[in-house]
């Protein structure tokens, strides 16, 4: 996964790199647009931990390997989470491994699976 700064500087993050930041647990409700809702425990790292000193004023753009994109406001960046695990196990490929965006209070369509790129919007 690539995290890019507004000045064009980039950093590549492996799954091991993410985990080295110190994973934490978060319980969040996934509200799927197909009609089901599930509250579960996610494990991963806060998105803010990857951003370091990256300056942004309009929010961040998060992109999937599929090309799907979602945009986060600065406040949402503070609550967003990159999940590497779910329900006590490693995140399965079908659920977005190696990491999936979790954004409390947003619909599941915005919980980007297979995150490949994060950069200022």
Confidence of residue 35 (pLDDT cuts 50, 70, 90): confident
In 3-state terms, what secondary structure has residue 114? coil
- Residue 119 CA from chain centroid, whole number: 12
Q: What pLDDT does residue 86 have?
A: 96
Instruction: Write out the two tokens for 75.
Output: 């406040």
| pLDDT tens digits along 66-108 | 999 999 999 999 999 999 999 999 999 999 999 999 999 888 9
CA distances from 27 to 60, 77, 103 (A): 23, 17, 11
Q: What pLDDT does residue 115 have?
A: 97
Domain coordinates in residue numbering, the chain: 2-120
| pLDDT tens digits along 106-117 | 889 999 999 999
Torsion of CA 19, 93, 83, 62, to 10 degrees: 110
| pLDDT tens digits along 51-64 | 877 777 888 999 99
Q: What pLDDT does residue 33 have?
A: 76
CATH number of 2-120: 3.90.420.10
Instruction: Write out the two tokens for 46.
Output: 């806060």
25 Cβ neighbours under 8 A, 6+ residues apart? 41, 42, 43
Instruction: Write out the two tokens for 4.
Output: 């890019």
């Amino acid at each position: 996964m690539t995290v890019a700064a507004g000045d064009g500087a980039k950093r590549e993050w492996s799954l091991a790199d993410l985990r080295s930041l110190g994973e934490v647990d978060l319980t969040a409700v996934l509200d799927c647009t197909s009609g089901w809702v599930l509250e579960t425990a996610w494990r991963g790292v806060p998105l803010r931990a990857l951003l370091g000193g990256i300056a942004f004023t309009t929010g961040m753009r998060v992109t999937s390997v599929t090309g799907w994109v979602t945009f986060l406001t600065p406040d949402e960046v503070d609550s967003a989470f990159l999940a590497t695990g779910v329900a006590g196990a490693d995140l399965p490929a079908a659920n977005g491994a190696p990491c999936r965006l979790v954004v409390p209070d947003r619909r599941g369509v915005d919980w980007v699976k297979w995150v490949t790129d994060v950069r200022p919007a």
